[in-house]
C-alpha cells in the first residue's frame, strides 16, 4: 500500500529526489493551477482532464480523469515526478506507477484557505519555488483580509443551495463537508442543507422545504441543466424563493470548487454576487 506521510499532507514514493524534477505529470486542477502560479508550469508534460486553467494547462496531453487515470498514458510521458491529489485513482493505477519506480507526491484535497496555503507551500518546496510560493501565499492572505472586512460589514447571511448537475443524471445537492459547503461559508452565506454530509439527490419535496433564497451552480452544470430558465422551472425548485426571484449564481467549476490559488478571490466574487438584489 502507498504510505501517506500525514505530517506533510503528502507522500513521496522514494526517500528523496536525486535532482529537481524536470518532467511533471500533474493530476488535479487546483494542483496544476498552483504549479503554474508558482512559475513551474513549464515542467508539466501532462495533466488530467480537470486541469484546464490556465489556458496552457488545457493544451497539455491528458492522462484521464483524476479518479480514472491511465497508467500507460502517464508512463508514456516519461515523467520524473507525478503530483497527485489525494482523490486520485484508481488504486491499481497508483500501484502500477509505484512498481514502475515513478516518484509520486500526493497532496491533500483542500477545503479551506489554510489547506490551499499548505498545498502551495508543499509544492513550492518540492519544485524549488519557495520565493514564488511565499508571494502567492501573501497574495492569498491579502485577499483573505478583504474577505474578512467584507464579512464584518455584511447584511444577514443569505440561504444558499448548491446544485450539482451531470449529463443525464438527477440533480444533486451539496451537504456539509463538501467543497460547495466550504465556499458558501467562506463567502459568508448559509448552506440550507445542514442535516447530512456529502451529496444527495434533490427531490421536489426537499427543494420546497429547504426554501433557498439563492441557487448556486457551476456554469458547466447550468449548461447540463438546460440553462437558467429550465433549472428555475424544474419540479420543486420552481416553488422556492430563489426561483420566484430568479436568483441563480453560476461560476466556473474549478474556480468555485477547486480550492486553489484563486479561491479567496472566488469567495469575494461570490460574496459580491450574493449581495446583489
Over pLDDT 90: what percentage of the chain? 80
Query: How do the domains of the chain map onto residue ranges?
Result: 6-138, 159-274
pTM above 0.85, yes or no: yes
Q: What are the tens digits of pLDDT across the range 228-249?
A: 888 899 999 999 999 999 999 9
* Category of 119 on φ-ψ map: left (φ > 0), alpha (ψ -120 to 50) or beta: alpha
Q: Cα separation of 132 and 140, whole Å? A: 12
CA 74 → CA 21, 29, 61, distances in Å?
15, 16, 9
Confirm whether 6-138 and 159-274 share one CATH topology: yes
Angle value at C-alpha 35, between 32 and 41, nearest 5 degrees: 95
In angstroms, the first-to-last Cα distance of the chain is 53
The dihedral built from the CA positions of residue 120, 122, 128 and 131, taken in this order, carries a sign that is: positive
Q: What are the tens digits of pLDDT across the range 35-80?
A: 999 999 999 999 999 999 999 999 999 999 999 999 999 999 999 9
pLDDT computed for residue 223 by the predictor: 81
Q: What are the tens digits of pLDDT across the range 159-172?
A: 999 999 876 678 89
- CATH code of the domain made up of 159-274: 3.40.50.1980
User: How many Cα atoms occupy the beta-carbon half-sphere of 7 within 13 Å?
Assistant: 0
pLDDT computed for residue 170 by the predictor: 80
pLDDT computed for residue 225 by the predictor: 66
pLDDT computed for residue 20 by the predictor: 84
Low-confidence ranges of the chain (pLDDT < 50): 1-17
- Under CATH, to which class is 6-138 assigned? alpha beta
pLDDT computed for residue 1 by the predictor: 38
Amino acid at each position: 500500500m502507498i504510505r501517506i506521510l500525514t505530517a506533510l499532507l503528502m507522500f513521496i514514493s522514494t526517500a528523496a529526489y536525486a535532482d529537481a524534477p524536470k518532467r511533471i505529470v500533474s493530476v488535479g486542477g487546483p494542483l496544476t493551477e498552483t504549479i503554474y502560479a508558482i512559475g513551474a508550469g513549464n515542467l508539466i508534460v501532462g495533466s488530467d482532464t480537470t486541469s484546464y486553467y490556465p489556458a496552457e494547462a488545457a493544451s497539455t496531453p491528458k492522462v484521464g480523469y483524476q479518479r480514472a487515470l491511465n497508467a500507460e498514458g502517464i508512463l508514456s510521458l516519461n515523467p520524473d515526478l507525478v503530483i497527485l491529489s489525494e482523490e486520485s485513482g484508481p488504486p491499481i493505477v497508483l500501484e502500477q506507477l509505484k512498481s514502475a519506480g515513478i516518484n509520486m507526491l500526493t497532496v491533500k484535497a483542500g477545503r479551506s484557505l489554510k489547506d490551499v496555503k499548505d498545498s502551495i507551500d508543499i509544492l513550492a518546496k518540492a519544485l524549488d519555488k519557495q520565493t514564488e510560493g511565499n508571494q502567492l501565499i501573501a497574495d492569498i492572505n491579502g485577499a483573505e483580509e478583504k474577505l474578512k472586512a467584507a464579512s464584518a460589514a455584511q447584511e444577514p447571511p443569505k440561504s444558499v443551495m448548491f446544485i450539482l448537475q451531470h449529463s443525464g443524471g438527477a440533480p444533486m445537492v451539496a451537504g456539509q463537508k463538501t467543497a460547495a459547503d466550504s465556499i458558501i461559508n467562506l463567502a459568508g452565506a448559509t448552506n440550507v442543507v445542514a442535516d447530512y454530509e456529502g451529496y444527495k439527490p434533490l427531490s421536489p419535496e426537499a427543494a420546497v422545504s429547504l426554501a433557498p433564497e439563492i441557487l448556486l451552480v457551476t456554469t458547466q452544470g447550468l449548461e447540463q441543466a438546460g440553462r437558467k430558465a429550465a433549472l428555475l422551472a424544474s419540479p420543486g425548485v420552481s416553488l422556492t424563493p430563489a426561483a420566484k426571484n430568479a436568483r441563480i449564481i453560476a461560476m466556473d467549476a474549478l474556480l468555485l470548487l477547486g480550492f486553489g490559488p484563486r479561491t479567496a478571490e472566488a469567495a469575494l466574487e461570490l460574496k459580491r454576487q450574493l449581495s446583489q438584489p
